[in-house]
Structure 1
Amino acid sequence: MRFIPHTDQDIREMLETIGIKNVDQLFSGIPTGLRLGDTPLRLPSALSESEVVAKLRQIQKRNPDPEEVSSFLGAGAYRHYSPALIDSLIQRGEFSTSYTPYQAEVSQGTLQAIFEFQTMITMLTGMDVANASMYDGASALAEAVLMSNRINKQKEYLIASSVHPEYRQTTETYLRGTDLRLINVPYSSDGKTDFEFIRANLNDRVSAVILQSPNFFGIVEEYEQLGRELKEQNTLLIVVVVEPLSLGILKPPGEREADIVVGEAQSFGLPVSYGGPYAGFFATRKKFVRQIPGRLAGETIDRKGRRSFVLTISTREQFIRREKATSNICTNQGLCMLAATIYLAVMGKQGLRELALLNLRKVDYLKNKLSKVKGFSVRFNSDTFNEVVLRCPRPATEIRDALLEYNILVGLPLGDYYHELADSLLICTTELNTVEAIDRLAEKLGTI
């Protein structure tokens, strides 16, 4: 393909169109001290390959060895066992090198994988339709907010402050520059969303109410009655599921009056690996299918009557809808989506339920042990799935740092996200946390 550069006249016309004088003004939002300008990068001298490997190994030693550290971190990134079968299959060349099916019907294998993923997500969420996946749970929530605006044209959103803080930040970023507004809903003394605040602030300007269950504190929200009330006022209910393993035992959001269900599929066979990669999911009611972002694969038969798959809906901006596209998401998390699909197929309904129950029993054991440690207490007296908030006798960061000396990564200090919870830790346990590791955590907490 030939490269045809812009002429000086082209550049002048483009600058005039957007109302600036030169290209440098495009970067005016970046503080002067952070711009490179004509200053050369202060890079170290070149190293040989062996020297680079040695340097990287030195850096690697600064990270805790996951085989030596007992980790109780969660908060949206969950450490679950991933069957060896998953890596074995997704590393096959036809999977690891595949990309978006531009000539969709030629890519029958890719389309079938997407179709199976969509089917499994609808079964888990209790919704009518799901898309081919999103970049991650946070961007899926932002897209759900934009979708609800397309549906009912309203511009205000009541969002629970117990929704993952980074999901809220991502949504705020998406909405910056629009006239859409998020209104934070406080949590109650039991850690659940304050539904009375929602009821008191509902009006005809509210497009949707946004809840997370289990919420950021690990607490299961009971929102079915609220969902019925929202329907009477033509307000949508968006439910976020950051720990999808919980759907193995909880009643599906679709059976609890949710209109849009979004979340993160990382728990399904994807490792906790430097914060990614993730794979978001997005499900909704059939009547809203034309407003769903991304793409949908569908099932049909070919001319010979054989089962086959097609790209049923794809309204992204690069195709014929252009500015009328529902979203500018340009792909789906194909490989991660495939890993999640294989994981769910391997586990099956019964396996997923048993694993969810195991996680539930582990967190009950954890809460029981922590509640007996002098000076510490479980902060919220509510049903949780696999996370719990622990109130500490001094700043949570100090407790975290002290336990690191014992090779225990105790959890997430909540003060960075909730100033009123600076004395609290968010602690997670999964099937990979042994009873012995939980006992040791409680023992060491009692000594610091």
Structure 2
Amino acid sequence: MPFIPHTDEDIRHMLAEIGVDSVNALFDEIPEDLRDPGLPRVPAGVSEMEITRVMNERATGDTLGPCFVGAGAYRHHVPAAVWEVTTRGEYYSAYTPYQAEASQGTLQLIYEYQSMMAGLMAMDASNASLYDGGSAMAEAVLMAVRANRKSKSGRILVPDTANPLYCDATRTIVSNQGLVLESVPSDPSTGVVDPATLKKWDGEDIAALVVPQPNWFGRLEDAAALTDWARRNGALVIAVVNPTAMAVITPPGEWGEQGADIACGEGQPLGIPLSSGGPYFGFMCCRKAYVRQMPGRIVGRTVDLEGRTGYTLTLQAREQHIRRSKATSNICTNQGLMVTAATMYLALLGAEGLERVAAQCHDTTRRLTERLTGIDGVSLRFDGPYFHERVIELDRPAEPVFHQLAAQGVLAGYPLGRHDKRLANALLVCATETVTEADMDRYVDALGQALARAA
């Protein structure tokens, strides 16, 4: 808040009126040992002029060179029209459209977004929206446990090929609710889960199975086989997917004989730039049978008494729920602006445009990794179907090489040793449609020189 209107005298009057001595007394329910007496790492306040200068200096330090990092955050081309429209006042400051008669524009936009996302995922319904990909996976786990009334265990199977950052967020959110995430090991030689591995859980009470597609290593899992196993064992299927990839590979609603039950993931690739770490937004789609268990707002289309098309929030009460015991998550207004940008992006590209973007990403990644593996000391870690990320292995630890190339303005990939010491020499490399031949030349030359000098 840029301006707080209450003076010290105002605050004293208000505290006297309610009969307390200080503002701190309003928080007496918080145990003393949990209170922070101060904020030692927060610097003292400065003037607007000073903070503007600090932020400008930091902005000049941002790396604008070629980016091959990926790992859940992707640099795509965003047409200029996307944010020209998104930042118009009608959208930029729009609040949750509870009053349908005054919010038809916002409601129609959300409806169009939901329609496009449901179509992209081959699912029946979509919400709008969630905080990010990690919390979307957590919400999907909670939703699956609510929806799978036949399961009483609260056990969720999660392949170790799922994004570890998403897994950390999910574990943080669901562990205090008595849910258990059980790891499904992948084949270390292929980077995917062998469906036969799931036989260990045959006949057990499992609430849901998470299927990442593409997975953390960029590989494509055998989603159909994994989905069919879950069906046979009474577990719901949670698809955690890259939305751009869904334009060229089988979408969750068509996996196996019956399809996945819930699809979620990170919506950042759909028109959201890499802005120093955010904001992002999570998406979620589901089958019609579970739509009342889905958190977030849902917009429906109808007609009024005169037969004119109209839009309104549906299936959930204002602020989502009246009874706390029946609540899902109150995530209404949080990322409406990001959904607006995604709607503009999808509408501008259309189905054909998104497919062309996805195909170009795959082709660029193929050509890049072919060139990288031609360098002495570089090999491909996993072979097999992939989308736009692959794991290359160096003949030495990857982290120092990453920093060396970053100092030259080349973000060479994501060092996987940060999450698994067994992959200390591995880099997750990504290439999108924004990568040019000159970018690839620069990367190949920089990596080759770095490895040659070290040798």
For 1:91, the equivalent position in structure 2 comes to: 87
Superposed, 1:320-331 pairs within 5 Å as: 320-331=322-333
How far the C-alpha of 1:104 sits from its partner, in A, is: 3.4
Distance 1:50 1:318, change over 3 A: same
Distance 1:367 1:287, change over 3 A: same
Superposed, 1:349-364 pairs within 5 Å as: 349-364=351-366
2:305 aligns with one of 291, 303, 306? 303
1:352 maps to a residue whose letter is L
Cα distance in 2 between the residues matched to 1:90 and 1:151? 35
Superposed, 1:48-67 pairs within 5 Å as: 49-64=48-63, 66=64
How far the C-alpha of 1:6 sits from its partner, in A, is: 5.9
Consecutive unaligned residues of structure 1, counting only runs of 5 or more, are: 16-21
Cα distance in 2 between the residues matched to 1:41 and 1:254? 48
1:161 maps to a residue whose letter is D
2:37 maps to a residue whose letter is L
Superposed, 1:116-265 pairs within 5 Å as: 116-152=112-148, 153-154=151-152, 155-188=154-187, 189-241=189-241, 243-256=242-255, 257-265=259-267
For 1:113, the equivalent position in structure 2 comes to: 109
Cα distance in 2 between the residues matched to 1:6 and 1:219? 60
Q: Is the 8 A contact 2:129 2:331 kept in 1?
A: no
1:432 corresponds to 2:434: yes
Task: Give the 3-state SS of the residue equivalent to 1:331 in structure 2.
Answer: coil
Distance 1:29 1:197, change over 3 A: farther
2:301 maps to a residue whose letter is E
Cα distance in 1 between the residues matched to 2:44 and 2:293? 50
Overall identity of the aligned pairs, in % = 40
Task: Give the 3-state SS of the residue equivalent to 1:426 in structure 2.
Answer: strand
Cα distance in 1 between the residues matched to 2:55 and 2:263? 41
Cα distance in 2 between the residues matched to 1:247 and 1:429? 17
The alignment's TM-score, normalised by the length of structure 2, stands at 0.88
Task: Give the 3-state SS of the residue equivalent to 2:314 in structure 1.
Answer: strand
How far the C-alpha of 1:77 sits from its partner, in A, is: 0.7
Distance 1:40 1:82, change over 3 A: closer
For 1:376, the equivalent position in structure 2 comes to: 378
For 2:411, the equivalent position in structure 1 comes to: 409
Q: Deviations over 1:374-433 (max 9, x none)?
A: 111111012111111111111111111221243211111111112211111111100111
How far the C-alpha of 1:440 sits from its partner, in A, is: 2.4
Q: Deviations over 1:138-197 (max 9, x none)?
A: 111111111111122431011011111111111111113222100111221211124232
Q: Deviations over 1:90-128 (max 9, x none)?
A: 111111010111223431111111111110011000111
1:367 aligns with one of 366, 369, 381? 369
Task: Give the 3-state SS of the residue equivalent to 1:176 in structure 2.
Answer: helix
For 2:75, the equivalent position in structure 1 comes to: 79
Q: Is the 8 A contact 1:100 1:332 kept in 2?
A: no
For 2:10, the equivalent position in structure 1 comes to: none
Q: Deviations over 1:47-81 (max 9, x none)?
A: 5x5444333333334332x1xx2211111110000
Q: Deviations over 1:4-60 (max 9, x none)?
A: 87657xx9xx99xxxxxx6462x5357xxxx335x888745845x544433333333
1:395 aligns with one of 388, 394, 397? 397
The alignment's TM-score, normalised by the length of structure 1, stands at 0.89
CA-based RMSD: 2.5
How far the C-alpha of 1:135 sits from its partner, in A, is: 1.5
For 1:19, the equivalent position in structure 2 comes to: none
1:268 corresponds to 2:270: yes
For 1:28, the equivalent position in structure 2 comes to: 33
For 1:314, the equivalent position in structure 2 comes to: 316
Cα distance in 2 between the residues matched to 1:230 and 1:45? 55
1:334 corresponds to 2:329: no
Task: Give the 3-state SS of the residue equivalent to 1:437 in structure 2.
Answer: helix
Cα distance in 2 between the residues matched to 1:309 and 1:29? 46
1:170 maps to a residue whose letter is A
1:208 maps to a residue whose letter is A
Consecutive unaligned residues of structure 2, counting only runs of 5 or more, are: 1-12, 451-455
For 2:287, the equivalent position in structure 1 comes to: 285
Q: Is the 8 A contact 1:294 1:327 kept in 2?
A: yes
Cα distance in 1 between the residues matched to 2:42 and 2:120? 51
How far the C-alpha of 1:3 sits from its partner, in A, is: 6.9
Cα distance in 1 between the residues matched to 2:369 and 2:337? 36
2:310 maps to a residue whose letter is S
Cα distance in 2 between the residues matched to 1:207 and 1:341? 33
Cα distance in 2 between the residues matched to 1:402 and 1:179? 44
Distance 1:323 1:186, change over 3 A: same
Cα distance in 2 between the residues matched to 1:378 and 1:192? 15
Cα distance in 2 between the residues matched to 1:225 and 1:318? 36
Q: Is the 8 A contact 1:302 1:308 kept in 2?
A: yes
